[in-house]
Structure 1
Amino acid sequence: MAEIIKHGAIHADDWEVLHLAEGQDAATVEVEHGRWIVPFAVWHAQRDKLAARAEAGVLGVWLAGGDDPALLADDLVRLQLVAVDFPRFADGRGYSIATLLRARLGYGGELRAIGNVLRDQFFFYLRCGFDVIQPQPGRYSVEQLQAALASLADFSEPYQGAVDRAEPLFRRVRREVRA
């Protein structure tokens, strides 16, 4: 069972992420019983079949960098978990998707970063609205995750506004006016 960082603590995780093999059809792939996070293509093709599982909290959807989160807007009320895949270190589209889900589409459920999730980016995932960080299984030891968790407190006051704290620092700090 993989470890995740969720709401400031390390937890064991029992969710499985479904990846389509080459040649598999999103409309016909069978989603086994259990807790699954399926690609948007599978959700889109099998929405009617999978909706009850999503509403029961045992099925989530993950978005790739090229997926438009607005296409999921009508389904967000039934999805308790949405994940965003980070396929490579240099692919930052997931940050924009998370911000759109939280700020523009009003998603209030669990938002999870999956894929090539790297320790030096954990703070930025949280700033964009992710509340769960799921590194690839085996990438970090529990000790490394604990150190990463402790490092999230390194920045006490971010300058910029973001999803986690909308007001920029200059609006949060009161300065004395001199005459």
Structure 2
Amino acid sequence: MPKIIKGTEIVDDPWIIIEKDFSGQLPVGKLPLLPMQYWLDNHEKLNLTVAGIWIDSDESVELVGHEANLFPLIAVNFPTFTDGRGFSIGRLLRERYEFNGQLRAIGNPIQDQLFYLMRCGFNSFDLKEGTNLEVAISSLNDFDSSYQAAIVPPEPLFVLNSLKKN
């Protein structure tokens, strides 16, 4: 079973990513991670007790935003290192749509981005095969403070500093 980072632990990944061009029967006995558009087009016909969705960086999160908490897992695809739209999708899911499930970065996230992905609300990471996940976990703590507020932590540095003084 493939491994992912969830929180600060390496765990088995029970989910199977269903590709965008999928047609046919969903795998039996697996937790499907469906393309957002596939779910939008077929959710009334699907007989699933549990399903997650994945959103491509060029898709509009607004299409499922208010239904986000129907899913235990939403993954955001990072197709290339230079495509940062997934950071915004993650933050919108957490702040605007109050998504409280597992938010996973898939595709091509790299170790250097994990700290910033976590600040945008991501709490699980599916990294390229061959990545040393123990080393990647350590990058979640690359910095001990940040000037700006984020999902994690929600307070800007000046507020945290004033709380320490009191």
TM over 0.5: yes
1:85 corresponds to 2:80: no
Give, in angstroms, the shift of residue 2 of structure 1: 1.5
Q: Provide Cα deviations, 1:85-139, integer angstroms capped at 9, x if missing partner.
A: 0000000000000000001111111111100021111111111101111113x23
Q: Provide Cα deviations, 1:128-162, integer angstroms capped at 9, x if missing partner.
A: 101111113x231xxx2111212322311122111
In structure 2, how many angstroms separate the alpha carbons of the residues matched to 1:151 and 1:66? 27
User: Which among 107, 123, 128 is matched to residue 131 of structure 1?
Assistant: 123
Classify the secondary structure of the residue corresponding to 2:148: coil
Give, in angstroms, the shift of residue 41 of structure 1: 1.2
Which residue in the other structure is 1:10 paired with? 10
State the AA in 1 paired with 2:37.
Answer: A
* Counterpart mapping for 1:125-164 below 5 A: 125-136=117-128, 138-140=129-131, 144-164=132-152
Which residue in the other structure is 1:30 paired with? 25
Name stretches of at least 5 consecutive residues in structure 2 with no aligned partner.
none
Per the alignment, do residues 158 and 73 of structure 1 end up closer, same or farther by CA in structure 2, a change over 3 Å counting? same
TM-score with structure 1 length normalisation? 0.84
Classify the secondary structure of the residue corresponding to 2:45: helix
Give, in angstroms, the shift of residue 69 of structure 1: 0.9
Give, in angstroms, the shift of residue 72 of structure 1: 0.2
State the AA in 1 paired with 2:27.
Answer: E
* Counterpart mapping for 1:25-64 below 5 A: 29-33=24-28, 34-50=30-46, 53=48, 56-57=49-50, 59-64=51-56
Matched-pair contact (CA < 8 Å) for 2:18–2:33: yes
State the AA in 1 paired with 2:85.
Answer: R
In structure 1, how many angstroms separate the alpha carbons of the residues matched to 2:145 and 2:136? 18
State the AA in 2 paired with 1:40.
Answer: M
1:119 corresponds to 2:111: yes
User: Which among 89, 93, 111 is matched to residue 101 of structure 1?
Assistant: 93
* Backbone CA RMSD of aligned residues: 1.7
TM-score with structure 2 length normalisation? 0.90
Give, in angstroms, the shift of residue 13 of structure 1: 1.0
Runs of 4+ aligned residues of structure 1 deviating over 6 Å after TM superposition are none
In structure 2, how many angstroms separate the alpha carbons of the residues matched to 1:75 and 1:152? 29
Classify the secondary structure of the residue corresponding to 1:124: helix
Give, in angstroms, the shift of residue 9 of structure 1: 0.7
Give the total of aligned pairs: 163
Classify the secondary structure of the residue corresponding to 1:89: coil
Per the alignment, do residues 152 and 61 of structure 1 end up closer, same or farther by CA in structure 2, a change over 3 Å counting? same
- Between structure 1 and structure 2, the one with the greater Rg is 1
